[in-house]
Chains A and B, each alone.
Chain A
């Protein structure tokens, strides 16, 4: 069409490059970041007629949070920074005498008979006020999950020379090849059974009842 000697055509060759640039920009920026958070399971809703199982007082680790964010751990006013240490000591105690079926062979705690028998029996009971700030609650949850992770990591290091949190992340990641994932499944399960997360949450108390 363009006649020789006429005005040259505008070079549109770079148009594609510009469009590609835009395309890549959108492709990259719209990958939505994955959210992260604390996973929890709620207890199933069951009629209150059922008889609750009898649990020994020493196997319960009570944590109360009042509306000002103060902690009452095992009836002692506690700084939130000490919570993890106390929870680890409680879970890892292994108070059952050696030789009994409940004896905890891998516990490295004090084996104090007045504290929890073994990690399987140990229950953390968390109670909060209705006016407790959510941020405080998450901090407490984080510390308690942290206590479990700390112990699980220790066991995973001992048994498999690996951190439990890494193993679990790899296991849950859908991009991990299934051959590796199958291998991890048993290990993750085993560590979870050594320190099962038993975190009981009471319904929030009406304001003013936890002091």
Chain B
């Protein structure tokens, strides 16, 4: 047992780990600030429809999002209950979609500009008229690759209400 009874005088000082938490906290704050959870708050009701034959939307940097749906209750007083288009953080009309796509496309790196996908996040209760208008606008600015974003599930659930 004498092995463990070291003399107090000759004890090596322990490596000071007091700054370790600081380093880790620094990392923590770095990750907390860098990871973007959501680029925009969604101001429209956005219950996506279900579909089973889906493909994954890889590579976030190549996607432009368009949200469509009824404004949420807090915005209904101002914007009514008809489905609206939301681009970035604000409501927009159909005619602004083309400009928005061109703007977003210009922001992307040169080599990505031809491989962009437009993800349509549309509430399942929206009418197709609005979607058709958006599609026309997308065709005009040559944004032909689109993705109807859906939840994974049985497509027949969409018909229930």
Contact = CB atoms under 8 A, between A and B. Distances in A.
Interface of A: 4, 12-13, 15-16, 18-20, 22-23, 26-27, 30, 32, 34-45, 65, 69, 80-81, 128-139, 141-143, 145-146, 149, 165, 168-169, 172-174, 201, 203-204, 207
Interface of B: 8, 17-18, 20-21, 24-25, 27-28, 31-32, 35, 37, 49-60, 63, 68, 117, 119, 122-129, 131-132, 135-136, 138-140, 142-150, 152, 155-156, 158-159
Contacts of B122: 134
Given A26-B31, A203-B136, A136 B159 contact: yes
Contact of A40 (B18, B132, B147): B147
Most central of A16, A141, A173 by chain B CB within 10 Å: A16
Nearest to B126: A134
Contacts, number: 178
20 contacts: A15-B21, A16-B17, A16-B21, A26-B28, A35-B63, A36-B57, A38-B51, A42-B135, A42-B145, A80-B156, A128-B132, A130-B132, A133-B158, A137-B131, A138-B49, A138-B50, A145-B53, A149-B53, A168-B55, A174-B59
A60 B96 CA distance: 35
Given A18-B21, A26-B32, 20 more contacts: A4-B8, A15-B20, A22-B28, A23-B28, A35-B147, A36-B55, A36-B56, A36-B150, A38-B51, A38-B148, A39-B55, A41-B145, A45-B139, A130-B132, A139-B51, A141-B51, A165-B53, A169-B56, A172-B56, A203-B136
